[in-house]
Structure formats: C-alpha cells, structure tokens
C-alpha cells in the first residue's frame, strides 16, 4: 500500500511540476491568458505561486517564484 501511495504522490508532484513549467512558457507566449488552456494553467498554479511571490523580495522585475516552486517540487520528489 505504501508503494502505491508513494507513486501517486510522485505523479501528483510531477503534474504540479508540469503545470508550473507550462505557466512559465505561457508567460512568454500568452501572458494575457487569452485561451482556455492558459486560463486553466494560471488558475491551477496561482495558489502555489502567489504566497511565494509575496514572500520573495523584489528581483528587478523578475518573478522567481516558479524557480523556487520547481526546486521545492524536485526536492519533494527526491524525498518520496
């Protein structure tokens, strides 16, 4: 049972990782979020990124919150 739970957690962490990567790419190609897929990715990732964005000091106009989230997700995946 533990192995099943660990695999499900890895899948969830990987899905979150893909969403954050998608958010980064969409910020380059569709920053206004005009498509339904863009709106979904922004909606799904904003609860994860917003608290980190508020906690980080300003970085000259760069949003480093996706980088922090990706590092944390990678570390969590290694722990599981």
Residue pLDDT tens, the chain, 80 long: 689 999 999 999 999 999 999 999 999 988 888 889 999 999 999 999 999 999 998 888 888 999 999 999 999 999 98
**For position 10, what pLDDT does the model report?**
95
pTM: 0.88
Structurally, how many domains does the chain consist of? 1
The DSSP string of the chain is: -HHHHHHHHHHHHHHHHHHHHHHHHHHHH-TT--SHHHHHHHHHHHHHHHHHHHHSPPBTTB--HHHHHHHHHHHHHHH-
| pLDDT at residue number 65 | 94
Both tokens of 39, joined, read: 């709106």
Domain span at residue 7 reads 2-79
């Amino acid at each position: 049972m533990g192995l099943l739970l660990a695999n499900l957690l890895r899948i969830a962490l990987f899905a979150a990782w893909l969403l954050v990567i998608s958010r980064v790419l969409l910020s380059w190609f569709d920053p206004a979020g005009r498509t339904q897929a863009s709106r979904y990715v922004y909606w799904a990732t904003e609860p994860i990124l917003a608290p980190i964005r508020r906690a980080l000091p300003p970085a000259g106009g760069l949003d480093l919150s996706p980088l922090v989230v990706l590092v944390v997700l990678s570390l969590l995946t290694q722990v599981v």
